[in-house]
Amino acid sequence: MKNITVIGAGTMGNGIAHVFAQSGFAVNLVDVSQDSLERGLKTIAGNLERMIAKEKITEADKTATLNNITTFTDTAEAVKNADLVVEAATENLDLKLKIFKQIDEAAPVNAILASNTSSISITKIASVTSRPKQVIGMHFMNPVPMMKLVEIIRGYDTTDEVTKAIMEMSEKLGKVPVEVNDYPGFIANRILMPMINEAIYSLYEGVAGVKEIDEVMKLGMAHPMGPLQLADFIGLDVCLSILEVLYDGFKNPKYAPCPLLVNMVTAGKKGVKSGEGFYDYSESKKAEKLAAQFAK
């Protein structure tokens, strides 16, 4: 596989495009608007500059990486020669099903179709395509250029050959692939989201404050970031969506989202992306400082 198409130029999409392009693959990066694509490329360039400052890559590496990326607003055109398509759109089932129907019709018959979904069923996504055996999950972690883990999710029909190819591909990116089966939340979010939800419940019930909850987990459990701060970086709307998938999938009340989380998302307080969550990110420098702290 040499030609990669990444659907979505947001936080996850531009990170995925970055690691493929830096590893020498030809990458087509797709989004609905040229402005979104330009923001994505700017983010990639900025991340490459930080890697140069840390002497992890050279200026020539940066130039080669950016030259490996071509941008598109036409999805059908972007996938027509793809060996692998990685969808990294918003965590919304209807949107993902629409995208997979579209790329299934336009991509070569042998192309593998992957989703970066963090919780939505790969089997359900595959069901709207004509190639369920070639559909798989590639759940990258944020920030993609730094985090080693890729959660590889097999749908009900995903073949051994496709799974092996994607495991090997992930290793070529310098990542550590871990194979899991297709159940709500997979492994990463099935374990992480209940912890975040319990932290929110602890705040909601007045057990401790935001900073106190995060300090306990950072200092007592050696977490690099407390669960409430992490929720802000993930996006509170994304956390809510994943918890709803878990609750709907298992029908177990332990996955029910905390009312405080629901209210915050309803009020538009979604974390870093909206400027306010459990912490205040209204000053851009403050958000950048926290992002830099997380990136160390």
Q: Is 33 a catalytic site residue?
A: no
pLDDT tens column, 255-283: 999 999 999 999 999 999 999 999 999 86
pLDDT tens column, 226-254: 999 999 999 999 999 999 999 999 999 99
| Catalytic residue from among 115, 118, 119, 241 | 118
Residue 172 predicted with pLDDT over 70: yes
Query: Binning pLDDT at 50, 70 and 90, where does residue 289 land?
Result: low
Q: Which CATH class is domain 3-181?
A: alpha beta
Per-chain mean pLDDT for the chain: 95
| Catalytic residue from among 14, 189, 202, 274 | 189
Architecture of domain 187-290: Orthogonal Bundle (1.10)
pLDDT of residue 209: 98
Query: Which residues sit in the known binding site?
Result: 8-13, 31, 91, 96, 118, 142, 273
70, 115, 286 from 4: Cα distances, Å: 10, 13, 35
Which two three-digit tokens encode residue 198? 């319990």
Ramachandran area for residue 251 (φ above 0: left; ψ -120 to 50: alpha; else beta) = left
Query: Binning pLDDT at 50, 70 and 90, where does residue 162 land?
Result: very high
The ranges of the chain annotated as CATH 1.10.1040.10 are 187-290
Q: Is 151 a catalytic site residue?
A: yes
Average pLDDT over residues 85-110: 96
Exposed/middle/buried for 207, CB within 10 Å: 0-12, 13-18, 19+? exposed
pLDDT of residue 290: 54
| Catalytic residue from among 47, 87, 115, 151 | 151
| Catalytic residue from among 139, 197, 202, 276 | 139
Average pLDDT over residues 93-118: 97
What percent of the chain is predicted at pLDDT more than 90? 94
Query: Which residues sit in the known binding site for NAD(+)?
Result: 8-13, 31, 91, 96, 118, 142, 273
The ranges of the chain annotated as CATH 3.40.50.720 are 3-181
Q: Is 118 a catalytic site residue?
A: yes
Residue 295 predicted with pLDDT over 70: no
pLDDT tens column, 123-150: 999 999 999 999 999 999 999 999 999 9
Q: Is 139 a catalytic site residue?
A: yes
> Cα(158)–Cα(116) distance, rounded to whole angstroms?
15
> Cα(131)–Cα(248) distance, rounded to whole angstroms?
26
pTM of structure = 0.89
> Cα(248)–Cα(212) distance, rounded to whole angstroms?
31
